[in-house]
Structures are given as structure tokens and as C-alpha cells.
């Protein structure tokens, strides 16, 4: 017996690790929800955008929540990093987005959004 962990102890350790992981995930979400950035974006959100966020929040997926915050239309493109801009360009169907510089990709996104607004 000396030094060996029983199956019951292993199960307890695994359950404890799962609980700690869930607690940390929820803390991360709470931290985001308490941020000034979140409040500013929430106040500039449409009802549809808020519904999307609530759906993502119910999933408790921190990445979905971060994506909602980082890709929200109210954030100026200049505030985004190149990875975020490339994701937006990809979602908009912009060609050759992976070869564009920061300025080129901002211009391409702006142009594509204008085209989409004109068509609606």
C-alpha cells in the first residue's frame, strides 16, 4: 500500500481537477464581464448581437465570448491586431487576406462592409 493511490483517490483527484478547471473558466468569464471594454461594447450592441452573446455565454466557452468581444462591429478596425483582422477578412470572403499588410486588410474590410451595406 505504501505510496500507491487507490482507484477511489484517483477518481477524487480527477473530479477535483474538473471542478477547479470549471471554476477557473467561470472566473475568466466574470473577469471579462466586469471589464470596461465589455460594458462599452454591450452598450453599443443591437438586440440581435446581445442574443448571440447570451447564447455564447450559456455555452460557457471563453473563446466564443472573447471572439464576440474582439469581433464586435463597434470596435474600430485600427484597435484590432492582424490575426483578428485576418479572421474578419476570412469571414467576409475577402480574397488573398493572408497576404495583405495591416493597412491593406483594414481597407479591404472597410470596402467589403460598404459593399455589403449597399446591397442590403
Q: Give the C-alpha separation, 106 to 112, whole Å.
A: 10
Q: Check whether residue 39 and residue 94 sit in a common domain.
A: no
Residues 68 and 35 in one domain: yes
Separation in Å, CA 69 to CA 36, 61, 66, 101, 106: 11, 13, 5, 23, 18
Per-residue model confidence (pLDDT) at position 96: 93
Give the pLDDT of residue 20.
93
Structural domain including 87 reads 78-120
Which pLDDT does position 65 carry in this prediction?
A: 87
Contact 105, 97 (CB under 8 A): yes
Same domain, 70 and 23: yes
Cα end-to-end span (Å), the chain: 72
- At 29 the pLDDT is 87
- pLDDT at res. 87: 92
pLDDT at 49: 84
pLDDT value at position 110? 84
**pLDDT at residue 86, rounded to an integer:** 93
Cell numbers 462592409 correspond to what residue? 113
Segments of the chain with pLDDT less than 50: 1
Closest by CA to 80, choosing from 90, 69, 70, is 70
Tens-place pLDDT, residues 29-56: 899 889 888 888 888 788 888 998 999 8
Q: Which of 105, 104, 74, 101 has its CA nearest to residue 87?
A: 105
Same domain for 53 and 92, yes or no, is no
Residues 44 and 62 in one domain: yes
Amino acid at each position: 500500500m505504501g505510496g500507491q493511490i487507490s482507484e477511489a483517490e484517483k477518481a477524487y483527484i480527477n473530479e477535483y481537477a474538473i471542478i477547479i478547471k470549471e471554476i477557473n473558466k467561470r472566473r475568466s468569464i466574470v473577469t471579462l464581464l466586469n471589464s470596461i471594454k465589455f460594458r462599452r461594447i454591450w452598450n453599443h450592441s443591437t438586440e440581435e448581437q446581445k442574443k448571440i452573446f447570451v447564447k455564447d455565454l450559456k455555452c460557457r466557452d471563453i473563446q466564443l465570448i472573447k471572439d464576440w468581444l474582439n469581433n464586435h462591429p463597434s470596435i474600430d478596425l485600427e484597435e484590432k491586431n492582424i490575426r483578428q483582422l485576418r479572421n474578419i477578412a476570412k469571414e467576409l470572403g475577402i480574397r488573398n487576406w493572408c497576404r495583405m499588410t495591416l493597412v491593406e486588410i483594414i481597407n479591404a474590410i472597410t470596402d467589403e462592409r460598404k459593399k455589403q451595406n449597399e446591397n442590403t
